[in-house]
Amino acid sequence: MKNMTEVSERITRFHLGKEFAAQEILGCHKENDEYVFRVWAPHAQKIWLTGDFNDWSKSLEMTRNSEGIWSITTDLPQEDQLYKYLVKQADGTEIMKIDPFAIQLEARPGNAAVIRDFPQKKWHDGGWIGRNKRSNHFARPINIYEVHLSSWKRHEDGALYSLKELQKELIPYVKQQGFNYIEFLPLTAHPLDASWGYQTIGYYALERTYGTPEELQDFVEACHNENIGVITDWVPGHFCKNDDALAYYDGTPTFEYSESWRAENKGWGVLNFDLGKPEVQSFLLSSALFWLELYHIDGLRVDAVSNILYRDYDRAPGEWTPDKFGGNRNLEGIEFLQKLNRTIKGCHPESLMIAEESSAQVKITGRIEDGGLGFDFKWNMGWMNDILRFYEMDPLFRKFNFNLATFPFMYRMSENFVLPLSHDEVVHGKKSLMDKMFGSREDQFDQLRNLYTLQMTYPGKKLLFMGSEFGQYIEWRYAEGLDWDELSDELNQKMQLFDKKLNELYLNQPSLWQLEQKEDSVVIIDADNKDESVLSFIRQGKIRHDFLIVILNFTPVERKDFHIGVPYKGTYEEIFNTARSEYGGTWTKPKQKFETKDSPFKDLNYQIHVDLPGFSAMIIKPVDIHIKRRRK
């Protein structure tokens, strides 16, 4: 039982924006044989606790303290019963509200909170936790499989897979395919599947259609014991505007900005948090830590960061006012994100903090001390947009737009990047990744393999949305499972095998991830061959002789006896060729081996001659090379 001094001190910290486990004080808690309920609603006239235990009546009126916290202690409730708060708002309106700190809500269509304790699990994932704490995630492979939990797979009658069923099927599948992280679209409670979880109502509650808190704990533990990390999307930028949720909780701007133009998020039809308000900071920081700690989640991908950073985001001229310096920065938002990362890293330095952000005005992954936001990684939206535009176009025109494939090399050191081929790119009429590719069905498969090889060999961590690994042709549909029937087609089977082999190559080749934060991790061989539309570069590992040569042919034309520069004299061999028949291509020739020619090629002293299939990506590795010892 918490003593009143501790409660009072922590409530004070909540009001100062310094309480990072607010769910332990606010919400519903059992103390001895009674339950204590506390909720923050500073401008409410009255609040009643109402639920199954009092026939949803006004018999349990709560008491307000001087700081706007309402509370009641009662022995009437029992575990698993439902409750809400009946709030008499500032204008006298009475409305049922959810408990913002509930850790479980009832099944839809209702959203009452469930009375229950925090699950007490005896964890058995110490091996993973220890390795994770000792490792440097910047210098290790991170290959993420992005999943919408309710549409990865469904039963024949349309029923969702439970977390228990997904534990048996999704985890082995992810391991088999060679991914080492799963990233879930938001797991937080939301009222409508069509929002994919991004319109949150419960920042501490697991979406009930997905399962129970205990089932999620077991799922994460099972992932860790297979050396698979778990990341979840988390949305501090906005929240669902449903009347019975957080919106204008006490009848006045409570969680949202007081200025209506800042509170309203027009693009999403939601409300924006007032990130400068201390109580909101305590609420959100506690939520972030809650998911990391209660569920052993390994990281958070913070969604819609641009909406937090800029006052004019998604607004026309005249719909916003400048900050105190006359600019468009959301100064409170920037300070909040810095505080978020400082807090998370102070408690869990091994946690991954990833930002989804599309501008270049603010340093996202820079050190907070240098004015950055402190994230570990940022989604590389520029790379994604340029590359997909490039692959969508007729190969005849790629030579005129070759910079789309090469320009991202120019800014690759500006941030620590994740290369996302995410859910956002395969929905709302954008077509699946497979259907984006130009040409015939066979050409599409050829180019999709080429695209994935570019992603896997280009500097940055990797993310691929579910279904893309086997080349699903139709767009993602949130209300249905993936089109697994496509795997009855031989080309889809071979695409799935290709993805598995490519992922394995990535995980097993240190040159693809050891030095991503260093300039010399990439050496461009030739980025000027626009006419033939062939791009070539080297990925360098820590050891001088550990490197890979990557050649990408963006046209269907086979390039015989193609000259390519190499750094050292000796022998080389092909280790990966996307055009091979086992992957769905037509190339059946033996793997090529190469002897260097003593002839310079651009900045390199030697060259090899390669037969390069059309639409292929080829990876070559040194076998026996002669490296001159550097002078000290």
Question: pLDDT band for position 60 (50/70/90)?
Answer: very high
Q: What's the CATH fold of domain 142-511?
A: TIM Barrel (3.20.20)
* Active-site residue identified among 356, 357, 446, 574: 356
pLDDT in tens, 141-187: 999 999 999 999 999 999 999 999 999 999 999 999 999 999 999 99
**Residue 593: pLDDT over 90:** yes
Check if 485 is active-site: no
CATH number of this structure's domain 520-626: 2.60.40.1180
Q: Which of 146, 303, 469, 499 is catalytic?
A: 303
Is a pLDDT exceeding 70 seen at residue 52? Answer: yes
Phi-psi region of 586 (alpha: psi -120 to 50; beta: other; left: phi over 0): alpha
Measured from the Cβ of residue 562, the count of other Cβ atoms closer than 10 Å reads: 18
- DSSP result, 96-131: EE--TT-S-BPSTT--PEEP-PPP------HHHHHH
Would you list the domain boundaries of the chain? 4-114, 142-511, 520-626
pLDDT at 266: 87
Is 356 one of the catalytic residues?
A: yes
Instruction: Given CATH 2.30.42.10, say whether it is the number of domain 4-114.
Output: no
What is the SS3 assignment for 259? coil
**Cis preceding-peptide flag for 109 (omega within 30 of 0):** yes
Give every CB contact of residue 89 below 8 A, 6+ residues apart in sequence: 43, 44, 45, 95, 248, 250, 251, 252
Residue 371 has pLDDT above 90, yes or no: no
Q: Which residue bears the tokens 């205990």? A: 214
Q: Which two tokens stand for residue 5?
A: 């001094």
Within 10 angstroms of residue 511's Cβ, the number of other Cβ atoms is 18
Percent of the chain with pLDDT over 70: 99
Q: Where are the alpha helices (DSSP H) in 256-330?
A: 260-263, 278-294, 305-309
Give per-residue pLDDT as tens, 507-530: 999 999 999 989 999 999 999 999
pLDDT over 90, % of the chain: 94
Q: Which residues, including other chains, have CB under 8 Å from residue 467's CB and lie 6 or more apart?
A: 426, 432, 476, 482, 483
Number of H helices, E strands in the chain: 13, 30
503, pLDDT greater than 60: yes
Least reliable range by pLDDT among 311-325, 415-429, 463-477, 566-580:
311-325
Cα–Cα distance between 228 and 528 in angstroms, integer?
39
pLDDT at 630 over 80: no
Looking at residue 232, its amino acid is: T
User: pLDDT by residue (tens digit) across 220-251?
Assistant: 999 999 999 999 999 999 999 999 999 999 99
Mean pLDDT, rounded, of the chain: 96
Task: Give yes or no on whether 142-511 and 520-626 have one common fold.
Answer: no
